[in-house]
Structure 1
Amino acid sequence: MTPGGDLPRRGRLTVYLGAAPGVGKTYAMLDEAHRRLSRGTDVVVGLVEDHGRLATAALLEGLEVLPRRTVEHRGTELTELDVDAVLARAPQVVMVDELAHTNVPGSTHPKRWQDVHDLLAAGIDVVTTVNVQHLESLNDDVEAITGVRQRETVPDHVVRDADQIQLVDLAPEALRRRLAHGNVYRADQVDASLTRYFRVGNLTALRELALLWLADRVDDALTTYRRDHRIESPWPARERVVVAVTGGPEGDTLLRRGARIAQRAAGSELQAVHVLATDGLPSAPPARIAEQRALVESLGGTFHTVVGEDVPTAVVDFARGVNATMIVVGVSRRSRWREAVRESNGTEIARLAGLIDVHLVSHEKARAGRRHPRRSPLSRSRVLAGWSAALLGPVLLTVLLSALRDVVGLPTELMLFLALTVLVALIGGLWPAIVSAVVGFLLLNWFFTLPTGRLTVAEPENALALGVFVLVAAGVASVVDLAARRTTEAFRARAEASALAAISRSVLSGEDTAGALVARLRETFTLEAVSLLTRTERGWDVLAADGVDPARDPAAAQAVLVVDDDRVLALTGRVLPASDRRVLEAFASQVGIVLEQERLREQAEQARVLGQADATRTALLAAVSHDLRTPLATIRASVDGLTSTELDLDDADRAALVGTLEESTARLERLIDNLLDLSRLQTGSVRPVLRATSLDEIVPFAVEGYAPGAVVLDVPDDLPLVHTDPGLLERVVANLVSNAVRHAKAGSAVVVGSAVVGDDIVLRVVDDGPGVPDAAKEHLFAAFQRLGDTSGTGLGLGLAVADGLATAVGAELSVEDTPGGGLTMLVTVPLAEPAA
């Protein structure tokens, strides 16, 4: 952790991507090292392969080159990047060549890119190199082009996630000249290389692969930048052609025209979009849509289906979402008189497109005309009731007013028919109200406007009144229809706001997990299944999923939402409206926040565990330090006696001192070995090595060093073997004996006995001290407990360490009272399995 509690800075990765071997990527990397060194940056060379190229080797002069790690493999000494040496040196920047290299067996990591990952995690910037043929996703393509299968590869995401990628390119002819001049390979390899791998066609194809792969990476970075900065207007960085298809017969023409436009520029994309309209227009036959999907895929494009209340708006929203540069749309099949009433979809798309070019394509069905029935936003029951009122209401009102002809006049009759039309509009919407107004107009004209019995109006004032009546009725009906649509939109917006508010509250409170959000997304949008996928070296893994048969690959989903560079949400089920994109993107954003929170919580938990382990390790060192002082003091006294010039020692005295020195040194060595093993066990860096062993190899060493008579051993020689780690079990017994000796009565001995009980051997460490009350026994093996210990020495870790080590080696530690007073510690160790 850095001061202030911030997470450690992660190093930046710079990759020099070579289009082919010999283009000069290592030379460019070392040239960059000199530039950084001249600016005062602390730069070292971790590993560089010059392959005997003099120009490359010359650039190493003036740079600090760290020694390599030597590894022996099958009798041959090989050298690898020394990660530990780089970490110990801790430079600002390290140069590491050949990122895709496979390490010698026995190394910490199998691949060099994993070593680079460790350096980046330590906050060291890394500059490295890799050729395009070593990228995992291009392996099959490279083999098809060159006929050579690359055995050393690196996952694409390692290079794709680099902070900076520099393409090192060279024209095929220039590279072949370099090869012929001996600047790449030895002279005996030149002819074979020129006629095989380094053919002009091979180099051209590899060069194009590198450019296209890098273009995709740049495009991803551009998309991320536009999303992070909420830039909705398209940036024409790459030609993207969106073809709007309706499923009609003109779709094939539009798709082929769009494909020809996309082929004019290398790297262009073709995308077809079909809008499922909610405005009542008849949808295209599914078979026809399937045919057009197959056609666009055969043309190298992708097919997308969205739902939209307004087709032109949905098309333009989709085009902006994919950063399209052109929309291809067909000339409307509407007749001219219908276009005079309402502009065509192509015209509306051109008006809404803004900076996106719109290409209008004519076809055989243009202006042929088609029906456009319009569906009311009201419910079916209300529409039926409205039509009934529109047809029957004017008739019934006419009968009623005919009976009251002498009582009411034309103004009153007009107002009543207008009220009826408003009522019909409130019930059934626009078209029933229009029909009611027309029928009412005819009935008023025939029955109540002079001259009656004819569809004529004698008074101009009456004609004006009838005309106003029709206009008012149509206006009121339109307002009711619009209000119904706005009400539907308001309910939708309220539902979206409620869903987003609920998500935000749960995320901010830390209640939701990624799995819970995935389940909520499926429930909110009534989908069949939703899965959260993460990119791995093998493909895609499922982090969380909900529903029936969730997608395990983005290609199997009907819609994909990008959470970040390595994670996506795959949606399966019904087709979602285009207007849901903002809510779906909000869901994806919240999932990203939840994943980041989980990552931070994991880091915090790791930091807590490491801090706890560090505190325990520190206390443990202090607790066992007294075990080290005794042999050290004995060794010091023996050495002083042997080297003293004032003492006249005979051979017997010298032999006694040497024997004492050897005995204390051996004891000290065992203590240090056990201490190091225990420290590594606390950090999880070492595991107990369980094997069949005899207690004779363990117990005597655990009890040595005590005064004669202080400890009595009662361990038979014929006990069967136990399955344990000898060093760690020795430490368990030593801690128990030390605790027993400290609490035993003065002059009494601690007894260490053993017996076979079933499939175990039980070691008993018996003392006659004050014992421990029953209420305190449950805390006996807790750390930093000094029950009944008034000596003031030690930190109360002996029994806690013994209990932890016993569990690690598969033993069990328990306690019982000693008959007559005192405490008995029981160590139950499993017997070794008999040999097969």
Structure 2
Amino acid sequence: MSDGRPDPDTLLAEIIKKEEDANRGKLKIFFGYAAGVGKTYAMLEAAHLAKSMGIDVVAGYIEPHNRPATIELMKNLEILPTLKVKRKGIVLNEFDIDEAIKRHPELILVDELAHTNAFGCRNLKRYQDIDELLNAGIDVYTTVNVQHIESLNDMVYQITKIQVNERIPDKVLDAADKIELVDIEPEALIERLNEGKVYKNTQAKRALQNFFTVENLIALREIALRRTADQINIKSTNEIFPVAHEYYTNEHILICLSSSPSNAKVIRTASRMAKAFHGTFTALFVETPDTKELIGENKSRLRSNLKLAEQLGAKIVTVYGENVPEQIAEYAKSAGVSKLVIGRSNNKKSLFSKQSLVDALTKTAPNLDIYIIPDIMKPYIDKNTTRRLRLPSISYKDSIKTILILLIATVLSFFSFNIGLNVSNAITIFLLSILLIAVETNGSVYSIISSLLSVLILNYFFTEPRFTFKIDDISHVINFAVMFIVAVLTSSISTKMKDQSFQNTLKARVTEVLLETSQKLQKASNKEEIYDLLGNQIFKLFDFSVIIYPVLKDNELSEPITLPCSSKDNILTYLSTEERAVANWVLKNNKNAGATTHTLTNAKCLYMAVRGQHSVYAVVGIAVNKNEVDIYKKNLLISMLGEFGLALEKESINEAKNEIYVQAKQEQLRANLLRAISHDLRTPLTAISGNASFLISKSAMLTKEKKCEIYEDIYDDSMWLINLVENLLSVTRIDNGTMDLQLQPELLDEVIDEALKHINRKSSEYKITVDLPNELLMAKMDSRLIVQVIINIIDNAIKYTPEGTEITIRARIKNKENLVVEIADNGNGISENDKDRIFDMFFTANKNTGDSRRGLGLGLSLCKSIITAHGGEISVRDNLPHGTVFSFTLQAKEVQIYE
């Protein structure tokens, strides 16, 4: 049951989005239904108003319409110089995006939002330039007409019969912070045309005859008003329901991608429907054997339709199969599609035309709403199909296979004929050979040819009269006809099975790559392994060189990681300053760029961001070298990058958690130290000051023995304080990572002797012995720290065992690499519960003893830290029959004896 509280993830996403929106510039679009309504004029008026309010305004690019009123308004505005681009002997003036970002005004004016930039500019379209300005935190005023909106292109064409080539995605208009509709009556606009205020006289007359008719302008105005209202509705809905999925209904709109000329219209219609129903929008591409053979215009149209669907916000999905209606119906059922939008087939029907797609879908998916978009284009014939019928694919290898198999079948038939078998056996042999040819060759042409040749060979060599093509027996005609039909059918079935096998292989390949990626990602333990896996999986998918730029904490690119490299590539060509600049642009703008995209198209690599939910964690460069990326591979790549982005995000979260944990532990350590010091230092300091004060005031009254006893107490307390301070300093150095180990070979007996000189004064009341083997023992150590370890362990034994206890120090060689030092006593021992915590900081055993007040629990913890820093291990065990043994290991070194 919901407790009514908001979801934390949703709140976090809203906070992050608000932060991003706060840093992003605001976009205002002056929207009109035709040229000449006054969009640029209104924009310039708004710019002067903003300037009068103290806002830094710059005119980035204003289209030179040579209109006096517009030119007058451009006065007193700072105008950026244009970018000069030479193209076919002509110098073109383009908007200079780099100069605009460098100038970085508060508000910039950029006319003609739908403009296509000249070749050589960073972005293909001007709306991409404007998006960069917004990302840089610059507010933008711009202009656009209704005929330039992508989803409305077909409607505009039906009204005006003029195809508009410069278009912008609907999302650009929908994302605008403000839209101001610049509107005048159609009659007033026509009057302006007649007066020459829009175009020159000749151009104006031509426009009045074609585009600027009253009927056209009324229709366009109606569309512009409706589109503006839709945008306002979208913004108001988003304000009421900030999270989009909260107000989405169950509507799921599906279209099918194809190379049909009418497919673009279907995509635009489905996009408008998805927006109207507030539903999701999916574009499905069914990969069949025929689509693999698309060439020329068909292939180009398919790619254009794919990009159009992506541009209009569709999710691209690829499935594989030969039966297109079945694949569409299967996906529609699994994905919960409610509406399917398809175009009416405009192909010329032949005598052997199959069942229409609509009829097939009606049978396979009866619960699916199907919307058929009419097409006014002239009927056409699929050139790709006719090409395949006229020019079947011929392979020398398959031709030789066919000839050899038919020769073998002929030889076997002669053998069977000579041993007395009849012609039916020869027919069987040739049927098997035809089936074998269908399996071993590609395409049905070889099966059909081999069927025809088999009939001719049987007739010529094995029927009476032999060695002629004459047939006397009518039964032979029937047998040969049946044989030919059976041969063609079997070869057709075999070809379909091969095609189906190919499709299954593609499905298995996709599943294998995704499953392998998921399994290996689960095993990756750090970012370096994730990057390595990412590069290898992309290389396996494309066989192109891969470069990965990890993103540092300061949101800058690190040095590139060059991963698998194609043998035909020189990897240094992809590591140039220009290529890195493209990768950096992708990081800053969080968009794809480089080869095969519309941004920085001169790059040699396709650069894509590896994103988590909120950040970019790496930029991947794939050396495609202008090669078109296969549709299904691109979809697979996008899925993989998303999975890797989540893995990197998870790793970053774990690193942040570890840092927080370490900081918390450090804070806890400081707090414990301060708490322990404030408590445990007070007692010895009070004792020292009290004894000193007593000696000063009562010295004459004390006996010599009493004075010596007080002096010994002061010495013991001061030595305890000195050891405590030494331990505290060592703990601090280890905790901060500033301990400088000076490892060098040392004789163990010398280190032990040095430690025994500094142990507790009460050691005289204990029996301490050193038991070392006869040979000299040497270990690699920092002697001053190992001395402290030995002192702490012996002092610990003295502190917690009764007087007269035997304490033994012994050592032995464990193996060629390690030396073991043991410090044993025969005291009361340590309980099993305390053994598990004896090396923990601030833990003291036997707290019921009177002397337990004198211990912060740092000594043994410090010993463990020192031994661990030496690469050794420390442990505690019982000393049978009673007592305790502390042991630690050091790296053994051989003693060098010089004569």
**TM-score, length-scaled by structure 1:** 0.45
TM-score, normalising length: structure 2: 0.42
